[in-house]
């Protein structure tokens, strides 16, 4: 029996990388279909080879799992967020930050295409940058020596790149590792949406960064909230930090008197944009239909 990590999944086959760097192609045993389990990229698995074909016998327990992109056992997620083409929206960024917090994955916000802003627009956007830094997020800007900053963050990590279609994930990855020569797509100015250029999730070892990185399919929306609505405030760090000061235990920060979060919004210590997204996400979770586990 051998053990390795799935680095690629395609048409029912799984490429598994062993500790020595060798890669073997495998398939999942029928038992996984019966138990409604499915191996995903990033999984550690036990497998054996029969007649030069490998078969996965067991999926190891996962440290975490993301639904979009579908990947397991991630240390760091870089949210590539364009400021133009497509235009920046804090709502989409906050959705991704909440999803990563719920999965216990450390986020890094990478603001791309800052060169498309005029000088006065760049100065205004700096307020957005400082907002997220003040909350406590790691923020990297494409016009401020990004590669050296990312290299420090990536060491010995499994890193997933995620973000809206056309935001520049493949462009950034080509800067990090030019040998990848990933296809990049032009953004439709009419729709402000990009053409999908990445078709599958793959983990790639980048020795110069001492990391494994994943390029993932882009998307134009993000709708996954797979947790109880009562947990939502825990995934907004600035709210979680002061929620213990609310008058009532279990305060939902909506209509309750003596709410420390609402008071902080009025004082300006919590950004109205973040609080508005909290309320929007709360309503979305309350209204969405139950999701059923694949396992």
CA 126 – CA 135 distance, rounded (Å): 14
State yes or no: 250 annotated in a binding site: no
Instruction: Enter the tokens of residue 247.
Output: 């008058």
State yes or no: 171 annotated in a binding site: yes
Angle at 82 between CA 64 and CA 8, to 5 degrees: 40
Q: Tell me the three state secondary structure of residue 160.
A: strand
- Start-to-end CA distance of the chain, whole Å, equals 24
State yes or no: 196 annotated in a binding site: no
State yes or no: 113 annotated in a binding site: yes
CA 292 to chain centre: 21
CA 75 – CA 35 distance, rounded (Å): 27
- Tell me if the bond preceding 86 is cis, omega within 30° of 0: yes
State yes or no: 259 annotated in a binding site: yes
Q: What are the backbone dihedrals phi and psi of residue 40, each rounded to the nearest 5 degrees, phi first? A: -130, 165
State yes or no: 194 annotated in a binding site: no
State yes or no: 253 annotated in a binding site: yes
User: Do residues 101 and 183 touch, judged by C-beta distance below 8 A?
Assistant: no
81 C-beta neighbours (distance < 10 Å), count: 25
> Which residue(s) pair with 222 in the sheet?
none
State yes or no: 246 annotated in a binding site: yes
State yes or no: 168 annotated in a binding site: yes
State yes or no: 165 annotated in a binding site: yes
State yes or no: 94 annotated in a binding site: no
| Beta-sheet pairing, 44-50 with 53-59 | antiparallel
CA 112 to chain centre: 16
State yes or no: 191 annotated in a binding site: no
Nearest to 125 by CA among 82, 157, 85, 95: 82
CA 49 – CA 51 distance, rounded (Å): 7
State yes or no: 141 annotated in a binding site: no
CA 47 – CA 16 distance, rounded (Å): 9
259 DSSP assignment:
-
Which segments are annotated as binding site for GTP?
A: 112-115, 163-171
Which segments are annotated as binding site for Zn(2+)?
A: 246, 251, 253, 259
Which segments are annotated as binding site?
A: 112-115, 163-171, 246, 251, 253, 259
């Amino acid at each position: 029996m051998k053990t390795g990590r799935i680095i690629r999944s395609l048409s029912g086959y799984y490429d598994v990388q062993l500790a020595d760097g060798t890669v073997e192609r495998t398939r999942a045993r029928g038992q996984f279909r019966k138990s409604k389990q499915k191996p995903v990229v990033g999984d550690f698995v036990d497998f054996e080879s029969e007649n030069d074909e490998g078969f996965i016998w067991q999926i190891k327990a996962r440290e975490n799992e993301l639904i979009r992109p579908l990947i397991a056992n991630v240390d760091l997620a870089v949210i590539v967020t364009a400021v133009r083409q497509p235009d920046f929206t804090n709502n989409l960024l906050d959705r991704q930050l909440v999803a990563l917090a719920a999965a216990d994955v450390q986020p890094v916000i990478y603001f791309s295409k800052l060169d498309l802003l005029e000088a006065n627009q760049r100065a205004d956007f700096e307020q957005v940058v400082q907002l997220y830094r003040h909350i406590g997020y790691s923020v990297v800007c494409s016009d401020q020596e990004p590669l050296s900053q990312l290299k420090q963050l990536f060491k010995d990590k499994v890193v997933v790149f995620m973000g809206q279609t056309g935001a520049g994930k493949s462009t950034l990855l080509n800067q990090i590792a030019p040998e990848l020569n990933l296809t990049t797509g032009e953004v439709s100015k009419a729709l402000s949406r990009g053409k999908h250029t990445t078709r599958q999730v793959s983990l790639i070892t980048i020795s110069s960064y001492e990391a494994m990185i994943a390029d993932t399919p882009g998307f134009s929306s993000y709708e996954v909230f797979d947790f109880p609505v009562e947990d939502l405030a825990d995934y907004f760090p600035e709210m979680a930090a002061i929620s213990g000061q609310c008058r009532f235990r279990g305060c939902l920060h909506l209509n309750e008197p003596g709410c420390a979060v609402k008071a902080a919004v009025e004082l300006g210590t919590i950004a109205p944009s973040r609080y508005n997204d909290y309320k929007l996400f709360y309503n979305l979770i309350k209204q969405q239909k139950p999701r059923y586990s694949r396992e």
